[in-house]
Amino acid sequence: MKCKEIIEIIERDYPRFCALKWDNVGLLVGRDDREVRCIYVALDATDEVIEDAAEKGADMLITHHPLIFEGMKRVTNQDFIGRRLIRLIRNDISCYAMHTNYDVLGMSVRSGERLALHDPEILEVTEQGEEPKGIGRVADLESELTLSECCRLVKDGFQLESVRVFGDLDGKIRRMAVSPGSGKSMIGAALDKGADVLVTGDIDHHTGIDAAAQGLAVIDAGHYGIEHIFVEDMGGYLRNVLEGVTVRTAPVRHPFHTV
């Protein structure tokens, strides 16, 4: 199956126009006429991922985060991104990214499901229409929980050993919001939607304590901690929609250690 044929199938369900304007999605490296027999799915195109994809004979690497995000004036072995690009090209691996288009059309839904949110609404609408689309989800809980109990719900839902929390662990939570990835900019949306807690990642000290001061608890499950669900979800999706293509997925490998 040609790389461009696979891209056409993916973009029927996850069109690039649903990505936010600042994003860089689509085929970023390699040939669209490449014959693809094996796809490797990962969150990031790290050195370890590219090495593993090459060892497993992958012809195409599909990631959530774009390997190339900003403009590049040269591709050389003197830069770590350049070295990754060279490694992909030398191994004839086409690299495709689906970032905020997947956030809007997949990640938000899947993260809400992981937290068992019932009848959720969009946290922040990015596209109006008959069926509005957007980032994150927010919903009333079926029964009131403490913030501590919400932490256990998050850890169980995303298979995490720990989370960082801003707020009173004994405080009552009736309405929960989730915004996978870096959620600093979603504090206002969560407050506007009446959420008692926001589950997200990459929350700094001042953002966390300021949110708590406004009555919004924050559970920081980590950027990778939530978004690693992309790998399992896209792996399953590709196996369902593609024939004659082997789909391999990167293992869950958190990018840092807590010691």
Q: Which of these, 200, 187, 177, 159, lies nearest to 112 by C-alpha position?
A: 177
The predicted-structure confidence for 37-70, as pLDDT tens digits, reads as follows 999 999 999 999 999 999 999 999 999 999 999 8
User: What pTM was estimated for this model as a whole?
Assistant: 0.96
Q: What tens digit of pLDDT does each residue of 157-189 get?
A: 999 999 999 999 999 999 999 999 999 999 999
Give the model confidence (pLDDT) of 4-22 as tens digits: 999 999 999 999 999 999 9
Domains in the chain, CATH or no CATH each: 3-98 (3.40.1390.30), 102-226 (3.40.1390.30)
Decide if 111 contacts 180 (C-beta within 8 A).
yes
Residue among 100, 97, 99 at smallest CA distance from 134: 100
pLDDT in tens, 73-129: 999 999 999 999 999 999 999 999 999 999 999 999 999 999 999 999 999 999 998
Q: For position 115, what pLDDT does the model report? A: 97
Partnered with residue 60 across adjacent β-strands are 39, 94
